[in-house]
Amino acid sequence: MLIPTTQLLLFFQNKTTRRNFITLAKFFILLALIVLVYSTLFHILMLYEGREYSWITGIYWALTVMSTLGFGDITFQTDLGLIFTVFVLVSGIIFMLVILPFTFIQFFYAPWLEVQARARTPKQLPEDTHRHVIIAGLDPVTWKLVEQLKKKNHPYVILTPDVQSAAELLDKGYRVVVGQPDDPITYTRVQVARAAMVVATIDDLINTNISFTVREICESVPIVTNADKDHSVDILQYPGNMYVFQFMKMLGEALAQRTLGLDETINVIASYDGLRIGVAPALCSSLVGTQLFQSGMREKTGVTVVGIWEKGILKLPSPQTTINQSSILVLAGSSAQLERFAKTYSSPRRTFDADAPVLILGGGRVGQAAAERLQRDGIQCKIVEKRPNLIGEGDMYIQGDAADLDTLKRAGIDRARSVIITTHNDDMNIYLTFYCRQLRSDIQILSRSTVEMSVSKLHRAGADLVMSYSSMAAGAILNILLPGEISVFTDGLVVFNTPVPARVVGKTLIESKIRAKTGCSIVAVRTGSALQVSPDPTSILPEQAELILVGTDEAEKRYNAFAEAG
């Protein structure tokens, strides 16, 4: 910890601080001169009234009146003296009660707090730091990434050029270093040569600057970045050892893949060796209206139902769980098992009128990507966009406000099969979701969310499926950082691997009661190099094996407590 003497040295070494201190000193000199003038006038007026006081008394009177203390032990008796007293009082209010505090705070106290913040916020990492993730700038993606890194106890550091922001992050328990993200010295100080990864997801220009800055210091550290524009991909890949994502495009395509009418029965959201995690809507399948134990899907296909989504709520299924039209099944199994599931339970592709379009509300990057994917699959779509510069050629575009009924009718809301809501404003997405649900109770509504907290609100507003931009992007980055682990956040699901807890070694899956006590489902068991997908409930859990489990964040916490209990 820095001692006050060191902080004072840092304080006065700053040129701006020295200028501020000189300005503050000038103000105090001016205030002292005013007090002396008032004291002199006090003596003159008192002599006019036939009284005489010492110079100390004159200064005392001036200060008590200017500060509005007004003890009343020394007062004028003539009108001229009283007028002078009022003038001194008013000027004192202005100088001592208004200007003086403001000047002190502006030119001394605020800079002093800044120096204290600079003194306690680190500017470099210890030399033995290694395998850490350097995050150059915060946005919804990196906030989610930091949250997951903290949960996994993986080292990281956030770079920020602003001292005050760094101090606030430090107070909240984040690991932060003050430095300019485009300064090579910054990356030397954060031990970039020993880092596991550098993440930059701000915008194309800043990401390019950061990438080339890092390459000046280290050629080998992987850099993960985001490209908004297609031509930026080649530019960002130039420094080498780059992972360039187009998260907006990925999100748009993922939303389009969930649209009614596509051939895909199961969307795979995670892969790990021979294991696949997929989601399958029950709509249009032969499973609707049946209970899990009646379907016999495990016996027929080998897949495990690890969860069922109902309007944004992930439910842990029991044998008596009934599958509804709105249910989305979360399945775990091998590629062959998932294919058997699709062939066994999918109904013939649902037919729609030839002119039944998919409405895309928002013509930005996500909306354009969704439209391109739908067009490749031969599905008609209409993009509703208010901004003229985003309106392309052809009758696919409808210019107007998506919150306007006439605009939606022109786009075909009355006959549309699905609505994909893609604006970057979560408030607008919630509004449009609720509005479309009121207009059409039977239509499929898919929506994006920028931050995780909006997901449940969008489901409550009527969305059938919500995909979080921040969760999807953070999950993609983590899968690069930790290839031996799998993490899925796109659908609010967590897939993780862990050694077999000592307390269940030698027991069968049923006897372990892991699912009953934690809510996590065991979807695979690795023994050496062998991976057993969808293990039999009577399988013995061997020592030194690895479990792959699926559950929610809360279920993972319960499992960790279960495993540590021994």
10/115 same-domain check: yes
Partners of residue 358 on adjacent β-strands? 381, 418
555/508 same-domain check: yes
110/144 same-domain check: no
Question: What whole-number distance in Å separates Cα of residue 385 and Cα of residue 360?
Answer: 9
206/268 same-domain check: no
Query: Token pair for residue 445?
Result: 């509504």
Per-residue pLDDT of the chain (566 residues; tens, 9 = 90+): 444 555 455 455 556 666 767 777 787 888 889 889 999 999 899 988 888 889 899 899 988 888 888 777 888 888 888 899 899 888 888 877 777 777 777 766 666 666 665 566 788 899 999 999 999 989 999 999 998 899 888 999 999 998 888 888 888 989 999 999 999 999 999 999 999 999 999 899 999 999 999 999 999 999 999 998 888 898 898 888 899 999 999 999 989 988 876 655 677 777 777 788 888 877 667 788 888 888 888 888 888 888 887 766 777 787 888 888 778 888 888 888 888 888 888 654 455 565 789 999 999 999 999 999 999 988 899 999 999 988 888 889 999 999 999 999 999 999 998 999 999 999 999 999 999 999 998 898 999 998 878 888 998 898 888 888 888 899 889 888 987 565 554 445 677 888 999 999 999 988 998 988 888 888 889 888 888 888 888 889 998 899 988 877 778 888 989 998 86
Residue 8 forms part of a structural domain = yes
**Is the dihedral angle over the CA atoms 85, 89, 90, 95 positive or is it negative?**
positive
Neighbours of 352 (CB within 10 A): 17
Partners of residue 245 on adjacent β-strands? 226
225 Ramachandran zone, left/alpha/beta (phi>0; psi -120 to 50): beta
Give the model's pLDDT for residue 281.
78
113/34 same-domain check: yes
| CATH of residue 49 | 1.10.287.70
Q: Nearest Cα to 253, choosing from 408, 355, 375, 382?
A: 375
8 A C-beta contact, residue 439 and residue 408: yes
| CATH of residue 152 | 3.40.50.720
Question: What whole-number distance in Å separates Cα of residue 289 and Cα of residue 545?
Answer: 38
Global model pTM greater than 0.75: no
Residue 418 forms part of a structural domain = no
DSSP letter assigned to residue 40: H
How do residues 194-205 score in pLDDT, each as one tens digit?
999 999 998 999
Question: What whole-number distance in Å separates Cα of residue 545 and Cα of residue 530?
Answer: 10
Boundary residue ending a domain (120, 144, 173): 120
Give the model's pLDDT for residue 2.
44
Boundary residue ending a domain (312, 345, 378): 345
Q: Which residues contact 90 (CB under 8 A, 6 or more apart)?
A: none
**Residue numbers of the domain that contains 180:** 133-245
Give the model's pLDDT for residue 288.
82
Angle between helices 110-120 and 163-171 (to 10 degrees): 60
Residue 259 forms part of a structural domain = no
89/49 same-domain check: yes
8 A C-beta contact, residue 306 and residue 330: yes
Residue 82 forms part of a structural domain = yes
Boundary residue ending a domain (186, 214, 245): 245
Angle at 359 between CA 358 and CA 362, to 5 degrees: 140
8 A C-beta contact, residue 413 and residue 440: yes
Q: How far is CA 504 from CA 149, 460, 523, 541, 542, in A?
A: 28, 39, 16, 7, 9
Angle at 327 between CA 325 and CA 331, to 5 degrees: 135
Per the structure, how many domains does the chain have? 4
113/137 same-domain check: no
List, as own/partner pairs, every contact residues 382-390 make where C-beta atoms lie below 8 angstroms and the sequence separation is at least 24, other chains included. Answer: 382/357, 382/358, 382/411, 382/412, 382/416, 384/359, 384/360, 384/408, 384/411, 387/363, 390/363, 390/364
Give the model's pLDDT for residue 3.
45
DSSP letter assigned to residue 109: I
13/116 same-domain check: yes
Residue 505 forms part of a structural domain = yes
112/180 same-domain check: no
240/282 same-domain check: no
DSSP letter assigned to residue 220: S
| CATH of residue 501 | 3.30.70.1450
228/309 same-domain check: no
Residue 201 forms part of a structural domain = yes
Element (H, E) at 241: none
Query: Token pair for residue 27?
Result: 């103000």
Residue 42 forms part of a structural domain = yes
Residue 404 forms part of a structural domain = no
